Amino acid sequence: MTKELKNIFTFYFIIQSLSLVNMLSSGHLNGDFFIYDINKFWLIFSFIVSFFPYLLLLGFLSLRKKQFNYVSIAEFKYFDKLVIGLLLINIFLSLTFKVGLYAQNQIYEVPFYIKPFIVLVNKLDMYIFSGLLLISEGFSRFKKLIVIFLLIALSISRASIFVFLFLFLIFIASGNIKFRLKQLALIFIILALTFQYLPKLFEYREELRKGDSAKSVEIFESKELNDFIKSKVIGRISSLSSVAFFYQNNHEIERTQYQVGALEYMIECFRPFYGGIYRENKIGYTYYFTNFYDDKAGVDYGIMYGLPSVLLVSYFKGIHIFFLNLSFIFFLIYCIVILSSFLFGKIYRELSFVLLFYPMMSGVPSEFGQILLYLIFISFLKILYISYSKSIFLINSNN
């Protein structure tokens, strides 16, 4: 087990523990569930079970060796220029046509003659490419700073602030953050200085997503600041509040589990593969949990609910559905790790842990499916590139 893998898990332990302490001290849940009181038994139980998926992933990655059989795509010629170029293209498309904007019901509208190009670009996920470049050796600090700046600009232009969590995980995976005392003190100071700007960041995100002026967030008093941190920060980077909410409402979950189809978790996982062509009118796990929390939500948005909540519903649907979904989740993780080894070479374990970190926390099957689709598409391009390079080499050799 590498130190980087341990440190990623340590970070997860820290945020879950902070969330637990926060809820125990306040007496109510945090994040989207801020208005609900805690049930201490189910909160502690949820805290314990929330570690199982990450412990299993950590164990699986630790048993696998470094992959020296495959060349990382980061070693291909002009990889850094490709990443920077794609980031600039994506930023332009986001600002001009709102391509990739999160939490939108309407599909972006673009001229038909550039639609195929945009579909192709969207399959080249910039988090994967940027994360790989930032972890890999052989690229200058200047180029890495450019990639960080452009990735933040792209994420904010798409009404998402997930990029900050992603970059923090990437810094851990690359060995830049080791959770030593001096680093922890520095991180604490930086967070203390930037907390006052977080409300405006969330306000900007909501304004982009809603398409109108979001309600201003004015925070001056310490209590208001504390409430904001609980509601928007801790609850956004920890799944504990979500899992605890559904577990302490397990009787209602048992009563309403029939609303989700037996194979719906698997179907929802593959929606990124065909969602742009065909959309069925099935409720799915994401909107079941979202509408359980907010009966007026419809399909306008989705909430984080965590893998333990998925297994809770699966258990109530039958022990065979429980093991079916559990096996399917293992299969997804296995496929993503194997594809990562083919694409990322010796750093695949650390990068695959980063890529799986948020989907495992959210529990949303389409997020697993989206990563799987991206990796399959990039693997296909790598095979084409290698085949083309070999063909050129043979032609030059014959000449």
- In whole angstroms, give the CA distance from residue 23 to residue 254: 25
* CB neighbourhood size of 312 (10 A): 23
Question: For position 218, what pLDDT does the model report?
Answer: 47
**pLDDT above 70 covers what percent of the chain?**
83
Selection from 16, 7, 70 nearest residue 237 by Cα? 16
pLDDT tens track for 324-345: 999 999 999 999 999 999 999 9
Q: Given a cut of 60, is residue 106 above it in pLDDT?
A: no
Q: Is the pLDDT of residue 1 over 90?
A: no
pLDDT on residue 318:
96
What's the CA gap between 51 and 324, in Å, rounded?
Answer: 20
Cβ atoms of residues 42 and 247 within 8 Å: yes
Query: Hey, which of 22-36, 70-84, 378-392 has the most confident mean pLDDT?
Result: 70-84
DSSP output for 184-218: HHHHHHHHHHHGGGHHHHHHHHHHHHHSSPPPP--
- Over residues 265-295, the pLDDT tens digits come to 999 999 998 875 666 666 789 989 999 998 8
Conformational region of residue 180, where left means phi above 0, alpha means psi within -120 to 50, and beta covers everything else: beta
CA 62 vs CA 9, 51, 58, 240, 336: distances in Å? 12, 16, 6, 25, 15
Contact between 108 and 97 under an 8 Å Cβ cutoff? The reply is yes
pTM of this prediction? 0.89
Alpha-carbon span 132 to 382, nearest angstrom: 15
182 pLDDT exceeds 80?
no
